[in-house]
């Protein structure tokens, strides 16, 4: 199960995003304070980070730059600032994608899925000649058997 870290200081938004990700079959963990992100990432090794730009403690840009010094894990930056320059800075900082607030949580989930499907650029140990395998389908447990 892919583990997603949500760094967001608005608790309602963070839990909404977490709920949607969990419903989509992911494990979701929320952090509110920017200062806690790097150490959490190092000890928990998430598969993807949803990173707010404006955070208490430490800003998303700075966090993203430090992340890139030791990790290539996918980062989706979330920002309420829509100026073009901020978008560029977000990508310069090494983010893989970004979303502007307010955003559709469904769209966020779609982007998470897309990034997790994408092979890492520097992934060198992809098995060769092992046949094409489709990704494991996320078990959808919402079905109930109808007894007739």
Residues of this chain that interact with Ca ion (CB under 5 A) are 9, 52, 54
- For residue 109, the minimal CB distance to Ca ion (Å) is 19
- For residue 8, the minimal CB distance to Ca ion (Å) is 6
- For residue 34, the minimal CB distance to Ca ion (Å) is 9
DSSP-derived pairing of the beta strands 3-7 and 48-52? parallel
Please, which residue, 24 or 54, has the CB nearer to Ca ion? 54
Please, which residue, 32 or 116, has the CB nearer to Ca ion? 32
Cα–Cα distance for residue pair 9/102, rounded to 1 Å: 14
Please, which residue, 2 or 9, has the CB nearer to Ca ion? 9
Cα–Cα distance for residue pair 13/146, rounded to 1 Å: 36
- Contact call for residues 30 and 18 (beta carbons, < 8 A): yes
- Provide the CA 67 distance to its chain's centre, in angstroms: 13
- For residue 52, the minimal CB distance to Ca ion (Å) is 4
Cα–Cα distance for residue pair 108/8, rounded to 1 Å: 14
The residue written with tokens 């894990």 in the block is 73
Please, which residue, 46 or 60, has the CB nearer to Ca ion? 60
Query: How is residue 124 written in tokens?
Result: 């060198």
């Amino acid at each position: 199960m892919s583990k997603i870290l949500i760094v967001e200081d608005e608790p309602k938004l963070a839990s909404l995003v977490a709920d949607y990700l969990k419903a989509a079959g992911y494990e979701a963990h929320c952090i509110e304070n920017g200062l806690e992100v790097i150490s959490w990432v190092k000890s928990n090794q998430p598969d993807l980070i949803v990173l707010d730009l404006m955070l208490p403690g430490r800003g998303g840009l700075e966090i993203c730059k430090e992340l890139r010094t030791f990790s290539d894990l996918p980062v989706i930056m979330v920002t309420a600032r829509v100026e073009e320059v901020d978008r560029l800075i977000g990508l310069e900082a090494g983010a893989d994608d970004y979303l502007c607030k307010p955003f559709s949580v469904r769209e966020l989930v779609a982007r998470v899925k897309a990034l997790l499907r994408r092979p890492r650029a520097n992934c060198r140990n992809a098995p060769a000649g092992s046949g094409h395998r489709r990704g494991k389908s996320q078990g959808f447990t919402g079905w109930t058997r109808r007894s007739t």
